[in-house]
Amino acid sequence: MIRFENVTMVYDQKSRLGSENARPGLDDVTIEIDRGDFAFLVGASGSGKSTFLRLILREIVATGGSVHVAGQNVARISSWRVPKLRRGIGVVFQDFRLLPQKNVFENVAFAMQVVGESRSAIRDHVPEVLKLVGLEGKEKRQPDELSGGEQQRVAIARAIANKPQILLADEPTGNLDPATSVGIMNVLDRINQNGTTVIMATHDDGIVNSMRRRVVELSLGKIMRDEIAGEYTSMIPVINQDGTRELRQADHSTWHRPSTGNQAFAPFDTEDDMP
């Protein structure tokens, strides 16, 4: 469904040539995410998670390597066909990004109006989507009359209103308390069970640890590990002899670093990806 081949993203090419310490947002990343997968993207701030997601959306174009989405090399898509690519991808952000002057129903309907859906299709489909995210009966509320969790549900509903095959979530629980986050994760899980590929960038270790889904960890733009049912961190706290604490790489037998060439967990989706 999504395949990165030696993808490098250098944001500011000029300054990179000029200064030594400038480093790429993504550095030679190769990975494959299958149809129907649920993958967490973890890593420190600035490790390249958002860059990864923006490359899939073709908000930015890789400076090296190629990004394939649903069998298409996104760099080769002409600019007037980019909207078509994006209709197949839903996106959710940490800050919800709802339209404040539209109510819940209208916010979700907006996504369908934009792509030219008919009024009757909108009338039928929006309530279904709102039900899926658990917002029945709240159609008429304005965003400022909703809790953060509810607002995120609206944002998710909008993201899946056009039935995308892929859902990208960039720290969707970043602004929510743990209990509310669990609710959101249940919604994302339900969407994933309906067959949508979900990629979620997060800092929320509790969620990652409890979900036991695929975990891709980025560090300084490189893939550190890629586990089938991973945990948030590969670091374990160690107490040094002088009493200080620090995090060390745990020697975990289930890790598979991509550098070893082991792609067992991400087999190529050849039938999908042939252009």
Ligand X SMILES: Nc1ncnc2c1ncn2[C@@H]1O[C@H](COP(=O)(O)OP(=O)(O)OP(=O)(O)O)[C@@H](O)[C@H]1O
Residues that bind other proteins (CB under 8 A): 57, 79-80, 82-91, 97, 99, 110-111, 113-116, 118-119, 158-159, 161-162
Given the complex with ligand X, which of 170 and 269 has the nearer CB atom? 170
Closest contact distance (angstroms) between CB of 188 and other proteins is 17
Please, which residues have CB within 8 angstroms of residue 203's CB and are 6 or more apart in sequence? 42, 45, 171, 174
Closest contact distance (angstroms) between CB of 57 and other proteins is 7
Closest contact distance (angstroms) between CB of 102 and other proteins is 9
**Which whole-number Å values give the CA distances from 204 to 11, 88, 136, 159, in the listed order?**
27, 27, 28, 21
Between strands 235-239 and 245-249, the pairing is antiparallel
Given the complex with ligand X, which of 25 and 164 has the nearer CB atom? 25
Given the complex with ligand X, which of 22 and 132 has the nearer CB atom? 22
Q: How many CB atoms lie within 10 A of CB 205?
A: 12
Contact flag: residue 58 with ligand X (CB under 6 A): no
Closest among 217, 208, 173, 175 to 48, alpha carbons compared: 217
Q: Is residue 264 exposed (0-12), middle (13-18) or buried (19+ Cβ within 10 Å)?
A: exposed
Closest among 194, 234, 193, 186 to 211, alpha carbons compared: 186
Contact flag: residue 152 with Mg ion (CB under 5 A): no
Given the complex with other proteins, which of 60 and 250 has the nearer CB atom? 60
Choose, by CB under 6 A, the member of 2, 37, 50, 107 that binds ligand X: 50
Characterize 58-84 residue by residue with b for buried, 16 or more Cβ atoms within 10 angstroms of its Cβ, and e for exposed.
beeebbebebbbbebebeebeeeeeee
Contact flag: residue 202 with ligand X (CB under 6 A): no
**Contact predicate 48/67, CB 8 Å:** no
Residue 12 interacting partner from ligand X, other proteins, Mg ion, none (CB closer than 5 to 8 Å by kind): ligand X
Closest contact distance (angstroms) between CB of 257 and other proteins is 33
Given the complex with other proteins, which of 42 and 111 has the nearer CB atom? 111
Choose, by CB under 6 A, the member of 1, 4, 7, 25 that binds ligand X: 25
Residue 162 interacting partner from ligand X, Mg ion, other proteins, none (CB closer than 5 to 8 Å by kind): other proteins
Concatenating the DSSP letter of every residue in 182-206 gives: HHHHHHHHHHHHTT-EEEEE---HH
Q: What is the DSSP letter of 73?
A: E
Q: How many CB atoms lie within 10 A of CB 38?
A: 19
Given the complex with other proteins, which of 116 and 275 has the nearer CB atom? 116
**What does the alpha-carbon distance between residue 149 and residue 170 come to, in Å, rounded to a whole number?**
15
Contact flag: residue 192 with Mg ion (CB under 5 A): no
Given the complex with other proteins, which of 62 and 224 has the nearer CB atom? 62
Closest contact distance (angstroms) between CB of 93 and ligand X is 10
| Binding site residues, ligand X, CB under 6 A | 11-12, 25, 43, 45-51
